[in-house]
Structure 1
């Protein structure tokens, strides 16, 4: 029987809060009220218009901003910006991820108005692996209602003492300043913690999110993904049912003597048509990832943040692996998506910005997990963006968030496509799927028979 999806009061989701990773429990203030440590050690990156990344830090040593053009995410007068971040640690990462998702929805559903924008914000330390997600809110009109709404959001959904930052250009010196405020939960009062100049940074050589990918999105092993769903059991009971299925699968399934061929590609590239045609042409078994045995839980996990959603899909690959091992002892096996899809979409989602910000070639995140049954061949179906959009519009089915992002965000689509191309061991072999069904099938069979002469 399907278990009901449990929820928690947002203030219960996390036991600590911070402004962009700055420790506040207990805070260490000087006599003048300035925060004594931590603030100057943090760096930040916001995703501005056109998926441009803006790197900056906060300086307390009198450094002056020399090039404000490098900070396009901050508004000139009379505009004002606000930010806050959600902390995360190995101990509370699931609750932190769910809290961030909750706040994201509250911001998207709010009545901030057309003159306000919410940008993704990351806080990180070059010296520490301490990445935190947050939000940078732009308010062109400097509306008192916007500030009140954000104060209430922070006050009611983060435990006291909650902190949020206000950014504005000072009339006296023309510099961009950040004021960090501490907001009381019960009395509604707020107090200034410190003020710092905002200083532009050179773009990081490696995107700060890349260091966390193997722990937060692209899991390198069955156990790594399993640990996430184990943490989810108290708040998402369906996690236990998924883990029970995974535990019934052998930990090291062996492939049979027949070839295993995976068909990958973006939505609406013709995977369903090609997989069915190959099944008939090769007298093969057709499998899908995720498998049908987890379909009743997909909507639940699709509604969760990346950490949980990707752990779920990573584990379903191990269920499929056990099916592949059994089926490949008697016939060829065609698989509609497998690990490459899970990894490509996760990388594109977590690494904001453009293709140039992706993990570099040969990065471990592109490598097939050592404990997952490996296919013999992976075909990547490709079509031009215009053709793919026409196919999506003609399908008449409800789009997932990722499908919508592929359709509306060209940078996201490009990152998914490039992530596919960078996969290693095994690589994805491209097949042009823009032509007729017959020609696509012929091209796919040509690649397959070149590698498997006996088919």
Structure 2
């Protein structure tokens, strides 16, 4: 008798054997994907010949397979992976997400999807989305192909379609544009479970897409934006006026960090008055008028803007600290923390582990003497924020709506190193919090 496993393998060979002989495509290494599931958990799967027979995570199978039909859309980065290519891919991904909420596609369910290399190579990551049509309407496929036709730039997003057979085995078929033939599906490839990588797939790309380790990396991103964001050139001109390396003066520099509604603005103002210190903010006033422009851009552009703002502030710190202490309302830790929490999908356990290099201070940015992190309980924070009506960034708004995102931001703050953050409980009265802050400054800086 033939075992069930052997029978399954024979059937898979019959179904996929001719296609393997017809094309070298299936001999290529499998493509790996990370799919964000409900509850901020991740499922990993692979597409390719090596994935045949590996049973999918049931939660992923429920999203990829019937009932209904699912499609993957991933945005590749052009060969070379320079800053201009990365910016183009990021803006294309943002535009794609906006268009998927319109017309016949807006009835479909969207899930964040990443296509990555299992060896953790930087530059191999593709941002994408899984689109699930619960009704399996032919209008969805037509709308997706029409959407791809609307992109004149290359590379276009890659469209894959998932289907199942009675074995049951899940398959993916890619759509390709062939000269004179329009869009055609290529041979199908099996879909199976993939092992979870040691690090979240986005982490290797962070130093070139959000947590820039030095000024030139952030500068390269904004340089690639000058053709379509006029304000980018103005920011670069301000940055280029700042010395490449600056030194602190003889007086201490204290940074105060914290989420919105932790009392940060009040404490920084009161501390600067008590210490007769200069009060600076990041981003600095000279670029703050352009925040709205850059907040509407993808992470790589938005974080480059905030990173360069830190270097402008560093130049101001160097000057002011020669004559008085300096209090800074947010600095590099904010820039890095929000970038990591935004880009690393899933829950807190998917963040880079403590002591990972991504939490290290940039090698060419002026360091403060002390960083204080104000924290409040979720209940106190909600109480304070009600009725404030202040204009907030996209990430600050998400802090209110997404508990997991807020937890990731808080954990990232606490994992920052060299310098790390000293946590200050900001639940008590403003007077008590100020007393604690001044005591810590006295203890660590004088």
266, 286, 289: which one pairs with 2:282?
289
Name which of structure 1's ranges 287-296 and 400-409 shifts more when overlaid on structure 2.
400-409
**How many equivalent pairs are there?**
421
Deviation at 1:111, TM superposition (A): 4.9
Secondary structure at the counterpart of residue 398 of structure 1: coil
Secondary structure at the counterpart of residue 35 of structure 2: strand
Secondary structure at the counterpart of residue 251 of structure 2: coil
Deviation at 1:399, TM superposition (A): 3.1
134, 137, 140: which one pairs with 2:134?
140
185, 190, 194: which one pairs with 2:183?
190
Judge conservation of contact 1:160–1:185 (CA < 8 Å) in 2. Answer: no
Matches within 5 A, 1:28-177: 32=22, 35-38=25-28, 40-60=29-49, 63-69=52-58, 71=60, 74-88=63-77, 89-90=81-82, 92-114=85-107, 116-127=108-119, 128-129=121-122, 130-157=124-151, 159=153, 163-170=158-165, 172-177=166-171
* CA distance in 2 between partners of 1:185 and 1:256 (Å): 65
Judge conservation of contact 1:161–1:182 (CA < 8 Å) in 2. Answer: no
Deviation at 1:50, TM superposition (A): 1.1
Residues 73 and 55 of structure 1: CA distance in aligned 2, closer, same or farther (over 3 Å)? farther
Secondary structure at the counterpart of residue 133 of structure 1: strand
Instruction: Specify every segment of 5 or more residues in structure 2 that has no aligned partner in the other structure, as ranges.
Output: 1-18
Secondary structure at the counterpart of residue 269 of structure 1: coil
C-alpha distance after superposition, 1:143-196 (max 9, x if no partner) = 2222222222222126589641111332x2222221212246987x43121201
Judge conservation of contact 1:48–1:73 (CA < 8 Å) in 2. Answer: no
1:224 aligns with 2:217: yes
160, 174, 181: which one pairs with 1:180?
174
What residue number does 1:233 align with? 226
C-alpha distance after superposition, 1:414-447 (max 9, x if no partner) = 1111000000011100001112111111111121
What residue number does 2:14 align with? none
Matches within 5 A, 1:390-405: 390-405=383-398
* CA distance in 1 between partners of 2:412 and 2:152 (Å): 35
Deviation at 1:297, TM superposition (A): 1.4
Name which of structure 1's ranges 404-413 and 217-226 shifts more when overlaid on structure 2.
404-413
Name which of structure 1's ranges 319-328 and 142-151 shifts more when overlaid on structure 2.
142-151
* CA distance in 2 between partners of 1:60 and 1:180 (Å): 14
1:311 aligns with 2:301: no
Secondary structure at the counterpart of residue 63 of structure 2: coil
Deviation at 1:347, TM superposition (A): 0.6
208, 212, 215: which one pairs with 1:215?
208
Judge conservation of contact 2:170–2:190 (CA < 8 Å) in 1. Answer: yes
What residue number does 1:271 align with? 264
Larger proportion of helix: 2
Secondary structure at the counterpart of residue 101 of structure 2: helix
Judge conservation of contact 1:380–1:430 (CA < 8 Å) in 2. Answer: yes
Judge conservation of contact 1:112–1:146 (CA < 8 Å) in 2. Answer: yes
Judge conservation of contact 2:87–2:221 (CA < 8 Å) in 1. Answer: yes
Residues 272 and 191 of structure 1: CA distance in aligned 2, closer, same or farther (over 3 Å)? same
* CA distance in 2 between partners of 1:73 and 1:374 (Å): 49
List 4+ stretches of structure 1 deviating above 3 A: 29-34, 108-114, 158-163, 183-187
Name which of structure 1's ranges 386-395 and 268-277 shifts more when overlaid on structure 2.
386-395
437, 441, 444: which one pairs with 1:444?
437
What residue number does 1:10 align with? none
Aligned CA RMSD, in angstroms, stands at 2.1
* CA distance in 2 between partners of 1:31 and 1:160 (Å): 29
Secondary structure at the counterpart of residue 123 of structure 1: strand
Residues 433 and 52 of structure 1: CA distance in aligned 2, closer, same or farther (over 3 Å)? same
Deviation at 1:386, TM superposition (A): 2.5
Name which of structure 1's ranges 189-198 and 294-303 shifts more when overlaid on structure 2.
189-198
* CA distance in 2 between partners of 1:248 and 1:174 (Å): 63
What residue number does 1:419 align with? 412
Residues 111 and 291 of structure 1: CA distance in aligned 2, closer, same or farther (over 3 Å)? farther
Residues 52 and 158 of structure 1: CA distance in aligned 2, closer, same or farther (over 3 Å)? farther
Deviation at 1:48, TM superposition (A): 1.3
Deviation at 1:226, TM superposition (A): 0.8
C-alpha distance after superposition, 1:208-243 (max 9, x if no partner) = 111011111000001111111111112222211111
Judge conservation of contact 1:277–1:441 (CA < 8 Å) in 2. Answer: yes
378, 381, 388: which one pairs with 1:388?
381
What residue number does 1:15 align with? none
Deviation at 1:356, TM superposition (A): 1.1
Matches within 5 A, 1:241-252: 241-252=234-245
Deviation at 1:389, TM superposition (A): 2.5
